Amino acid sequence: IGSTLAKITIDTKMFSSEFIGKFLQGNFDYLNKNTSGAAIPHLRKDILINLEIPLPPLSTQKLIVEKLDMIFAEIEKSKNLLEKNLQNVDEMNKSVLEKIFAKDKWERKKLWEVCEVIWWWTPKTEISEYWWEDIIWLSPTDLPEVWEITKISNSTKKISILWLQNSSVKLLPVWSVIFSSRATIGKIAINDIELSTNQGFTNFVCSGWVYNYFLAYALKNFTKDIIALSNSTTFKEVNKTNLRNFSIPLPPLETQKNIVSYLDNIFAENQKLKNLYQAQIKNLDEMKQSFLKKAFAGELV
């Protein structure tokens, strides 16, 4: 086994291995709070070997495991149903978008015709003066893996104003549309503060032709089509020319704003549903921990 695993040999005359497994599962949070190492946390060996284990008779241990398995099976059924409900909400959102953008009556415009399309790159890490904390420098990992469009006002990393000055790069204006076009394609954000981004993004500064939130919804809807333009199977990246020339249906500006208002209302209601399902899933996970605590406090059998 590798260095990230620990082997525990069980005295089968005294313990059921399933009982030990459930006991460790019940101490998951405690074990993970007692680690060493900043970059890659490891469980402290003394914490593991000094963990006190209750010792009921072997027959009682097996009965505890059977009851926990039965309870956990019911909890998993409920979780699976809630997770399916979450998927259904996402599918509902996608269906609403597809219906909006399936209309053929609107003229299609290439992205370069209605936006200023901007790409940046990552400065060399060895140039230390480029990494002073002056301005926000966004990378795709700063955006969550969510279906919704994200609003960005901060990030985990910042960069020096010297990089902008020496590379003739300008800050991205507020309310621009930020689209991840490399590796993980399809994350979308709208910034409410001036910032810069790394090479993983394509940025769109909207003109008077297109409303920024309408463009964000359009990009979200056509993400699959954009991914199909990527030029690699191992490390996906959308060719700049292909992305600039990608066309979207473009109704009049007032219609765009009405569509955004309509979509915002639907997605806000659907988000309430998602929040409810996620809270219920969290409660079920907490319920499992509660039953584990009861089991090893002698309150289950």
72-123 pLDDT tens trace: 999 999 999 999 999 999 999 999 999 999 877 899 999 999 999 998 877 7
* Those residues with Cβ within 8 angstroms of residue 140's Cβ, 6 or more apart along the chain or in another chain: 180, 182, 183, 184, 187, 198, 200, 201
Instruction: Output phi, psi for 158, to 5 deg.
Output: -130, 160
Q: What is the mean pLDDT of residues 5-15?
A: 87
What separation in angstroms does the CA of 105 have from each of 89, 94, 108, 261?
28, 20, 9, 20
Q: What is the structure's pLDDT at 204?
A: 95
pLDDT at 167 over 70: yes
State the pLDDT confidence band at 5, using cuts at 50, 70 and 90: confident
CB atoms within 10 A of CB 188: 21
Q: Across the strands, what pairs with 247?
A: 110
pLDDT at 48 over 90: no
Of the candidates 114, 104, 96, the one whose C-alpha atom is nearest the C-alpha of residue 212 is 114
State the pLDDT confidence band at 257, using cuts at 50, 70 and 90: very high
Q: What is the structure's pLDDT at 64?
A: 95
- Supply 122's token pair: 């990552």
Q: Compare 167 and 108 and report the one with higher pLDDT.
A: 108
What separation in angstroms does the CA of 103 have from each of 99, 219, 225, 265?
7, 16, 16, 20
Query: Tokens 């002073």 belong to which residue?
Result: 132
